Amino acid sequence: MLRVDGLSAWYGEAQALRDVSLHVDEGEIVTLVGRNGAGKTTLLRCLMGLHAGASGTVRFLDEDITALGPHKRARRGLGYVPDDRGIFATLSVEENLLLPPKTAGKGPEPWPLERVYETFPRLRDRRRFPGTKLSGGEQQMLALARVLRTGARLLLCDEPTEGLSPLIVAQIGDILREVKAAGVTVLLIEQNVHFAATVADRHHLLAEGRIVQSMDNAEVRARESELLQYLGI
Ligand code: ATP
């Protein structure tokens, strides 16, 4: 579904990604783990077309999208959930959900509001609440739901569990599994390797802008404490 070849990225003179190649197959959940500053966010931003200083190629659904801007990538079915969640704080939950344009293009139909509320019952309960009144977990659910509304086929999620309590992290896990069951593919940044092994199929470890290891769940589980120590968690 997604194939990245030789991706490098810079901030001025400083190189943040070095020759990254990876693929994500349809229906998979794949994680990117790595210490702060390893290049994970830059990688997702490059995939969404949000980072100008990059080289390499990105193919999505058999099309070279390297030269396309973020809106065109969104129209083809890429959805980005940034780490700041990008919620409009003064708008209600429902107003946030009604905002996105229906950019799915040839992808599956955008999710109707009713389907969003079935997947995220908490958002139905909170639908008249302004963004400012939501908990961190509710904000994360809203950010995911908003991108699903666009009919995205591949979600690029920047650390959806960051700062959330274990109970809410478990709920995010249920939602990601549900999203996967609904046919949506996910590439996510995740520092919680224990959680990552419960939701994902494969994992890539980034260090100093490079993929230094690719692992399956069994390997991540076997090396959980070593990885947590390495990540400084
Ligand atoms: P974190 O979890 O801390 O966000 P990350 O793995 O997502 O880490 P990136 O945010 O992609 O890492 O950063 C990769 C490198 O690029 C780091 O060295 C960082 O300092 C640098 N960098 C990130 N954003 C900028 C920027 N706007 N200007 C200059 N350098 C940046």
List pLDDT tens digits, range 205-226: 999 999 999 999 999 999 999 9
Tokens 């090396």, residue located: 223
Per-residue pLDDT band at 104 (split at 50, 70, 90): very low
**SS3 of residue 141 by DSSP:** helix
Q: Please indicate whether residue 11, judged by its CB atom, sits closer than 6 Å to ligand 1.
A: yes
The answer to ipTM > 0.85 is yes
The reply to whether ligand 1 has any atom less than 6 angstroms from the CB of 47 is no
For residue 191, pLDDT beyond 80:
yes
CA atoms of 71 and 163, how far apart (whole Å): 29
Residue-level pLDDT at 101:
59
The best mutation among 8, 32, 42, 157 to test binding of ligand 1, ranked by most ligand atoms within 8 Å of the C-beta, falls on 42
Confidence band (pLDDT; 50, 70, 90) for 32? very high
- According to DSSP, the β-strands at 29-33 and 185-189 are parallel
Q: Give the whole-angstrom CA distance, residue 31 versus residue 28.
A: 10
Distance CA 225, CA 233 (A): 9
Is the model's pTM score more than 0.90? yes
Q: What is the mean pLDDT of residues 146-164?
A: 92
